[in-house]
Amino acid sequence: MSLVSKVIKDRICYVKMENSQHFNCLSDQMCQELMEDLSFAYEQECVGIVLEAEVRKGVWSAGHDIHELPLDGSDPLSFEVPMEQLLRAVQDVPIPVIACVDGTVWGGACDLCLSCDMIVSSKDATFAITPAKLGIPYNASGLLHFINQLGMNKAREMFFLGMPIEAEDALNVGLINRVADKEELEAVLEEHFLQPLRRNSVLSISAIKRQFRILSRASTVISAESFERINDYRHKVYGGEDYKEGIRSFLEKRPPQYKGKASDLD
């Protein structure tokens, strides 16, 4: 049973997550289907992609499927996991992807929105990145996403606190491009984003998106030792007890009892 629907209207591909029963969690299946639909839109010569979600209980997407986070000591956010592949696919598909958000966005879904080229949201939308709540170590590419797009101060607040930020706040820090009343969201998307995309040169836009992708990677050369140190920190977290406690406590619906110490990383 498919978790995603897609429809092309006037050269725009509308890709909609339709697994609200499970809060549109970014399960392996959801990620694979979204990647297929991104490729489909490009192959069909669309000039843009809108990423939407069927919202239930106010949730646009609850992020990575916590049931699929590994407990065998393997890296939950390794280069090859489907969610990470999806984030890169959104950044690599050579036409603009616009997230249209009318609910709460959590964890990896926040990184998914940040990977899109633009975000339009309703006033009641919120955005939260929550690895610290769950005892999960985030990965370098994801951290750079937030630092580059929001600045270090907001990135620290979002990662350290794991608390949702409101749409207005997200607009002020450049996380999203435009906020609208829920009932006007589609019209604002159409008038201020999709109509210009249809009018402009998709050849030029695609070249600029490809250039952005190359340039956004240009400034992130770090030494091999630094990269190894980053990965060592991550391994100590996902290989430790807090990571397992974070997942178990969430699924058992109880507050986590974290015992890890910052000095464990020295």
Task: Catalog residues that contact ligand YXS under the rule CB under 6 A.
Answer: 23, 25, 57, 59, 62-67, 106-108, 129-131, 133-134, 136, 138, 251
Q: Which residues of 46-65 are buried (b: 16+ CB within 10 A; e: fewer)?
A: bbbbbbbbbbeeebbbbbbb
Joined together, the tokens standing for residue 117 give 């080229």
Minimum distance, C-beta of residue 136 to ligand YXS, in the bound complex (Å) = 4
- Name the minimum Å distance from CB 64 to ligand YXS: 3
Least distance to ligand YXS, CB of residue 152, Å:
18
Q: Give whichever of 25 and 97 is closer to ligand YXS, judged by the CB atom.
A: 25
**Options 48, 64, 103, 142, the catalytic residue:** 64
Rg of the chain's alpha carbons, rounded to an integer? 18
Give the residue with the Cβ less far from ligand YXS, 146 or 193.
146
| CB 28, min distance to ligand YXS, A | 12
Task: List the one residue out of 238, 259, 245, 249 whose CA is nearest residue 73.
Answer: 238
Instruction: State yes or no: is 64 an active-site residue.
Output: yes
Q: Which of 19, 24, 136, 139 is nearest to 78 (CA)?
A: 139
Residue 48 or residue 131: which is nearer to ligand YXS going by CB? 131
Collapse the DSSP code of 259 into the 3-class scheme (helix H, G, I; strand E, B; otherwise coil) and give the result. coil
> How far, in Å, CA of 63 to CA of 17, rounded?
12
Active site residue 42: no
d(CA 39, CA 94): 10
Nearer residue to ligand YXS within complex by CB, 97 or 134: 134
Active-site residue 138, yes or no? yes
Which of the following is catalytic: 48, 103, 138, 238? 138
Residues annotated as catalytic (active site), given as ranges: 64, 108, 138
